[in-house]
Amino acid sequence: MYSPLTSPLLSHISLVLTGGGSRGAYQAGALRGIAEVLGPSADSFPFSSVCGVSAGAINAAYIASRSHEFREGVAGVCQLWGELKSDEILKDDLVTMVTFAARWARDLTFGGLVHGSRANHL
């Protein structure tokens, strides 16, 4: 019986994980879902390569370091994100929030999000 999860094409799939703070926790949940769908075949690493940025790079590095046991790597990533508290991920004090809002307002008001000299090279 043919199953798309046992297809030779699966060996040519890369995993790319984006950045963005708490998105890393969502990625952990998605990885758990992939491991569940793969079932017993999740013991071997299902991706030909893995990469990430920021929080995604943390997850990618952890998963890659456990490539000999994908299910174990997923469990570790889920545990990592499950134990983090919000104050360990982002600053939510008043000074930080006001500074961030002021920079955002300045960027939107005076030239957008890309500095003019950088945009000229695009």
For residue 98, give its domain range. Answer: 91-122
* Shared-domain flag, residues 63 and 112: no
Q: Are 56 and 77 in contact (CB under 8 A)?
A: no
Quote the pLDDT of residue 120: 61
* Shared-domain flag, residues 95 and 78: no
* Shared-domain flag, residues 46 and 73: yes
* Shared-domain flag, residues 82 and 104: no
* Shared-domain flag, residues 70 and 98: no
| Tally of domains in the chain | 2
Which of these, 86, 84, 82, 44, lies nearest to 63 by C-alpha position? 44
* Shared-domain flag, residues 71 and 26: yes
Q: Are 14 and 49 in contact (CB under 8 A)?
A: yes
CA 81 to chain centroid: 11
Quote the pLDDT of residue 2: 42
Mean pLDDT by 10 residues, the chain (122 residues): 51 87 91 92 85 94 92 94 79 85 85 60 58
